[in-house]
Amino acid sequence: MTATHSYRQSSGQSSGQARVEDLICRAEPSVSFDFYPPRAGKTAERLYRSIEELVPLGPSFVTVGYGTGPVTRARTHELVLRIRRMTGLTVVTHLTCLGCSKSEIAQLVGTYHEEGIRNILALRGERSGANAKARPFSEADGKHERDFPHAADLVRFIKREFPEISVGAGCHCEGHRETPNRLLEMEHLRAKVDAGADWLVTQLFFDNREFYDFQARCRMAGIEVAILAGIMPVVSKKDMHRIAELSPSTRFPAQLLKAVDRVSSDAMVRNVGTTWATGQVFDLIENQVDGIHLFTRNRSRAALEIYRALGMSEPKDSGAEASDEQSPSG
């Protein structure tokens, strides 16, 4: 996409970088979007077009996914700065610490800090699944893991070295495959908050009851920071299987599975997925959750349809593309 591609700045947004926890408090409800760095060519054009179509919805902020290698990290950096420069939105960069030394993290965060980025989503990163295929775990990774064995260590490091940066952390309302003990899992999450995490965002889920129970357990554990609900519409049957492989703890409600089984094409599955996600968002808003984080997969259609269906906005017809087979990175 050329540099002359036009963007519209959402109303009420300035070029400054507000802290995410403050933005969450201002919005009722807070809705944010997740993007990930494109490779090149048509995928990049699609991303920039989607951003242009979603900016008028006035998201509280947007996040940009983060890869494990230097090439994808550079793409993340480029996209973070481009979105901020062209839209004026507050941008949150993902940052993973797996395989990174303290000096590498200090340099990365320092660069973002110098460029005015004041919000980071601190994640450990995954050793298995898609990331492992892209870059196998090495001896160097094991050496550096002593610097950041857990995401809480990354949170603590950022807050100590860059105290003015707002740090978010991930959480799994349906459990994490590496911590089947749900009591121990809550202790690990509490460690992230004690280390300085200012807000949390969940992995995707399809059953709101799982989120509400998780939220209640967090409050019982003394975790009082904002918890954003991660929502991602299903786009195909192949997509569902990929989600199940990448996140084995994800529960697919029987009603959703029945609805998907009744249709024969991916286009119809996509409609089912968007309808289901719309119902989730409506219910979450009714229950006054702290915020909703939509994983866009670099496409605007689902978010636009959810907004229209719930009367949250009346954007112009975007002509958004219909197909979507790719899951988000990071």
User: The domain that contains 271 carries what CATH number?
Assistant: 3.20.20.220
Q: Is residue 140 predicted with pLDDT exceeding 60?
A: no
Tell me the residue type at 251: R
In-domain check, residue 107: yes
In-domain check, residue 210: yes
Altogether, the residues listed in the chain come to a count of: 330
* pLDDT at residue 125 in the model: 83
In-domain check, residue 329: no
Q: With bands split at pLDDT 50, 70 and 90, how would you rate the model's confidence at 10? A: very low
In-domain check, residue 6: no
Q: Could you read off the pLDDT of 254-271 as tens digits, one per residue?
A: 999 999 999 999 999 999
In-domain check, residue 322: no
Q: With bands split at pLDDT 50, 70 and 90, how would you rate the model's confidence at 184? A: confident
Distance CA 95, CA 109 (A): 9
Reduced 3-state DSSP string for the chain = CCCCCCCCCCCCCCCCCCCHHHHHHHCCCEEEEEECCCCCCHHHHHHHHHHHHHHHHCCCCEEECCCCCHHHHHHHHHHHHHHHHHHCCCEEEEEECCCCCHHHHHHHHHHHHHCCCCEEEEECCCCCCHHHHHCCCCHHHHHHHCCCCCHHHHHHHHHHHCCCCEEEEEECCCCECCECCHHHHHHHHHHHHHCCCCEEEEEECCCHHHHHHHHHHHHHCCCCCEEEEEECCCCCHHHHHHHHHHCCCCCCCHHHHHHHHCCCCHHHHHHHHHHHHHHHHHHHHHCCCCEEEEECCCCCHHHHHHHHHCCCCCCCCCCCCCCCCCCCCC
Number of domains, the chain = 1
**What percent of the chain stands above pLDDT 70?**
82
* pLDDT at residue 131 in the model: 42
Q: With bands split at pLDDT 50, 70 and 90, how would you rate the model's confidence at 98? A: confident
In-domain check, residue 11: no
* pLDDT at residue 66 in the model: 76
Q: Could you read off the pLDDT of 275-330 as tens digits, one per residue?
A: 999 999 999 999 999 999 999 999 999 999 999 999 987 544 434 444 444 434 33
Q: Could you read off the pLDDT of 12-45 as tens digits, one per residue?
A: 334 458 999 999 999 888 999 999 998 777 788 9
Q: Which domain holds residue 261?
A: 20-309
In-domain check, residue 327: no
* pLDDT at residue 89 in the model: 95
Q: Is residue 230 predicted with pLDDT exceeding 90?
A: yes
- Mean pLDDT of the residues in the chain: 85
Q: Is residue 180 predicted with pLDDT exceeding 80?
A: no
Q: Is residue 141 predicted with pLDDT exceeding 50?
A: no
Q: With bands split at pLDDT 50, 70 and 90, how would you rate the model's confidence at 139? A: very low
CB atoms within 10 A of CB 15: 12
Q: The pTM is what? A: 0.85
In-domain check, residue 184: yes
* pLDDT at residue 160 in the model: 97
Q: Could you read off the pLDDT of 43-66 as tens digits, one per residue?
A: 889 999 999 999 999 999 999 997
